Structure 1
């Protein structure tokens, strides 16, 4: 059963519980040379930096990004109320050798096409993409590129929204009300299939449910009318109306809803 999660204090400040879970899944190592690819400014580079040797952040925009309007640049959450289910810690993978990379000082931020990264093959021991895969162009092309720059014994970690393998696509209706450009939520099987088709071998998988308050999420709605329609649909479901797939409920007088998230760890197939 999901429960209220609290921020965990680190030497660099407070880390939100969902980001802490991802960091535990990633298992960053002091020798890692890391690449984080995100649409806009994501939180991963700052979270990884104290734990690894070097981090490069790519602020990626797909080549076809023109005309996408005021779509949110990245998925952002504060350290506030996100309810997250407990889970067993992932097993520790085998150590990897340190690759070398030519680049600028730690904290480098680069603008680049996610499907044509300006790095040589096998340049990074750890590559991450958090809630960005479907916003950066064709996800299959992006995955191939992320695997290309990942060292043979390295790790690619993808964090994204998913739906259960038996769940229908109805849940995407309110996602598209909020963001007409929403590409659709992949099933767990589809996400892992794309990774393997791109040349990756799945090593670990973490799928879990979170509950989130509706209002911060609706701050990213395309317009106020769309936000009102979503509120009405979710409130109607709480009152016994048609199901939206979001499993809304009232917590502390506020409207909350449910999402499924997945963390996928893979390595390139030689």
Structure 2
């Protein structure tokens, strides 16, 4: 009997995609956008005695930013190539208070109440079950501690079109939630005292496509949809032309929420 080809899981797709993206993701200036990093720090208000977990840490950009301020940071990511880039970034910045781990963020390998601050940025839209990850973040958060979730949140009426074009560009994309959906998900886990911020993150379309390695047959359709967005606002991404190049904005939401000091 012939061996049947192994079905590619979504986790396989994430690892494949982000192994290719590891270096360009780190080098893309928008991911290290200082305004966005300043928002992350301002909203989560890290202190020296915080112990921070960066969930789906990617190449370590956010973890390294927190490591400048807090006592200790751990970054965990499913993709080994991303962790390798994170280690390189840590060395470049001469930071000595970060540990890295390859692991499944839907089953965090940490005890209950382990961290005072838990962060995840630009990860949830890649996950089949983001609610499961928020549940895990609640579990490992100390009473009185907080989480910070940063992700792209398209407008409700543009959500389907947004997710369609993003899946064309990046096969590891699962679903981007609206701001209301994301906020309700956080609230449903028992978090309280929620504060939010937003950011329009500008991107050059050609640069993003070249760094995310979509199927070549999808490139023309991606460009067509962004061209239509310029004239008709079908994606909710405020696309526009500058010097004959297409630019757009990712609509990003930041949500910080606290775990009650006593269980509710």
Q: TM bucket by the smaller chain? A: 0.7 to 0.9
Which of 128, 151, 155 is equivalent to 2:119? Answer: 128
Establish whether residue 159 from structure 1 lines up as the match of residue 150 from structure 2: yes
Contact conserved, 2:73 with 2:98, CA < 8 A, in 1? yes
Partner of 2:226: 234
Gaps spanning 5+ residues in structure 2: where? 1-28, 86-95
Q: 2 CA distance for matches of 1:260 and 1:124?
A: 29
Which of 175, 179, 185 is equivalent to 1:188? Answer: 179
Instruction: Give the C-alpha shift of residue 203 in structure 1.
Output: 1.8
Which of 249, 252, 255 is equivalent to 1:261? Answer: 252
Instruction: Give the C-alpha shift of residue 15 in structure 1.
Output: 5.9
Structure 1 residues 150-197: Cα deviation after superposition (integer angstroms, max 9, x where no partner): 111111000001023454422222112212342222111110111122
Structure 1 residues 203-225: Cα deviation after superposition (integer angstroms, max 9, x where no partner): 20112323211122112142223
- Alpha-carbon distance change, 158 to 139 in structure 1, aligned in 2, over 3 angstroms: same
Gaps spanning 5+ residues in structure 1: where? 1-6, 8-13, 62-71, 77-104
Aligned residues, how many? 218
Q: For 2:68, what is the secondary structure of its paired residue? A: helix
Q: 1 CA distance for matches of 2:57 and 2:65?
A: 17
Q: 2 CA distance for matches of 1:172 and 1:131?
A: 14
TM-score (normalizing by structure 1): 0.72
Partner of 1:247: 238
- Alpha-carbon distance change, 264 to 241 in structure 1, aligned in 2, over 3 angstroms: closer
Q: 2 CA distance for matches of 1:60 and 1:200?
A: 25
Partner of 2:215: 223
Which of 179, 193, 199 is equivalent to 1:208? Answer: 199
Q: 2 CA distance for matches of 1:196 and 1:60?
A: 26
Establish whether residue 43 from structure 1 lines up as the match of residue 65 from structure 2: no
Equivalent residue runs for 1:47-58 within 5 Å = 47-58=65-76
Which of 43, 47, 68 is equivalent to 1:29? Answer: 47
Partner of 2:131: 140
Q: Which has the higher strand share?
A: 1
Q: 1 CA distance for matches of 2:242 and 2:205?
A: 11
Q: 1 CA distance for matches of 2:142 and 2:133?
A: 16
Q: Which has the higher helix share?
A: 2
Q: 2 CA distance for matches of 1:136 and 1:182?
A: 8
Establish whether residue 117 from structure 1 lines up as the match of residue 108 from structure 2: yes
- Alpha-carbon distance change, 123 to 195 in structure 1, aligned in 2, over 3 angstroms: same
Q: 2 CA distance for matches of 1:164 and 1:24?
A: 25
Partner of 2:17: none
Contact conserved, 2:127 with 2:173, CA < 8 A, in 1? no
Q: Which moved more, 1:225-234 or 1:213-222?
A: 225-234
